Amino acid sequence: MDHVLIEALEVDTVIGVYDWERTLRQRLRLDLELATDIRPAAQRDDIQQTLDYAAISARIGEFAEAHQFALVETFAERLAETLRQEFTIARLSLTVRKPGAVANAASVGVRITRGQE
């Protein structure tokens, strides 16, 4: 199985468990690895035969804009579910980082893998 990569995608969203966090938008940084067979697209040089990373990136931005969660875990789980349904992704690995959330750490976050390869 091949993988389409989207790395260090940044989105702003309302996320956090503290009251003050619920009043502002915070930046999240995402890395995605999306399992697919790229051979049909490569053979025909046709974006319709593969996962369109521009369309997926735009959908992630829309998702972040439209939703508010307390937990990064919830953001990751719901986003993974949305992407797998809307883009027919067999398997994905998603890392969501929240920069500056903990003093003395560049970022904190979660990494999940959903689906079968």
Give the tens place of pLDDT for each residue, 1-10: 899 999 999 9
pLDDT at 88 over 80: yes
Is the C-alpha dihedral spanning 16, 59, 83, 93 positive or negative? Answer: negative
pLDDT of residue 116: 87
Average pLDDT over residues 92-114: 96
At 82, the amino acid letter reads T
In terms of DSSP H, where are the helices of 36-100? 39-44, 53-66, 72-87
Tokens of 46: 């046709």
Catalytic residue positions, numbered? 98
Tokens of 100: 């500056």
pLDDT of residue 102: 93
* pLDDT tens digits, one per residue of 11-44: 999 999 999 999 999 999 999 999 999 999 999 9
Query: Buried b / exposed e across 19-31, counting CB within 10 Å, b at 16+?
Result: eebeeeeeebbbb
Domain ranges of the chain: 2-115
pLDDT of residue 109: 97
Rounded Cα–Cα distance for residues 39 and 46 (Å): 10
Say if CB 98 and CB 64 are below 8 A apart.
Answer: no
CATH of 2-115, one of 3.30.1130.10, 3.30.200.20, 2.30.30.220, 2.60.120.920: 3.30.1130.10
Rounded Cα–Cα distance for residues 71 and 55 (Å): 25
* pLDDT tens digits, one per residue of 43-81: 999 999 999 999 999 999 999 999 999 999 999 999 999
pLDDT of residue 97: 98
